[in-house]
Structure 1
Amino acid sequence: MSDWIHICQLNDIPPLGARRVARASGMDVAIFRDETDGLFALLDRCPHKGGPLSQGIVLGNRVACPLHNWTIGCDGQAAAPDEGCTPSFRLKVEDGQVYLDAQELATHATTQTRPIAGPASHRAACTAS
């Protein structure tokens, strides 16, 4: 049996948009709402370059990353020809209230980080050798 944590009301998530959920450890989780009020939850990190999926555009049961337009499905898988995945999270809606699995929220994908981009990544690469 799962314990569920209340996140928000369904109407707190904009249609074709997202709501970010901060966690005690690990990156935020993004809950997406499609045009039929269907929801899905993913780690707020594109598998390509780490873009914030919560800032992307929802297209059916997928979200387009705002950085390079990769589309990521509700299962976290990138659409072909792109490859990669981002962790997904279980959620439920009851009486217009949105819940995430508390155990999953606390433990799932807590070690993933955004890649370092720009000049800082070049400095890190130079000092690593």
Structure 2
Amino acid sequence: MARVFTQAEAKQLGLPGRKALEIVSGARGARGVTLRLAEIPVPQPGETPRSPHQHYDFEECIYVLSGTGTTHADSGEFPIKPGDTLLVPAGEKHVTRNTGNEPLLLLCFFPVADITKGTREPGVSSGACCNS
């Protein structure tokens, strides 16, 4: 049965260096997808950038809604802007950083219902893990 998920219903995640809302996942009834909205703030002077993370068994697809940034991955650095989509292969370490003067807003899609299994991010418990 089709269903509408509102942003107000989304689960707020306690992830370092960004705000993240889990809109759709196995915990919300999905059988094979996770969709998250991530907001990466403008970096502050002296702030330590967060470390890369990786998804061992599945890809991540990142769509840029607003702001500008760079995704640092094993395969290179990828500048991103509104309307861009970045596909990160399974197993590739990556982190997205804001390079602009406004928050960087990303829609992150994963082809699994629970991304906590198969994801590793330093400093994050496995139950809360990851995106962008």
TM-score bucket (shorter structure): under 0.3
TM-score when normalising by structure 1? 0.27
TM-score when normalising by structure 2? 0.27
Which structure's relative contact order is higher, taking Cα pairs within 8 Å and 6+ residues apart? 2
* Bigger proportion of residues as helix: 1
Q: Which has the larger radius of gyration?
A: 1
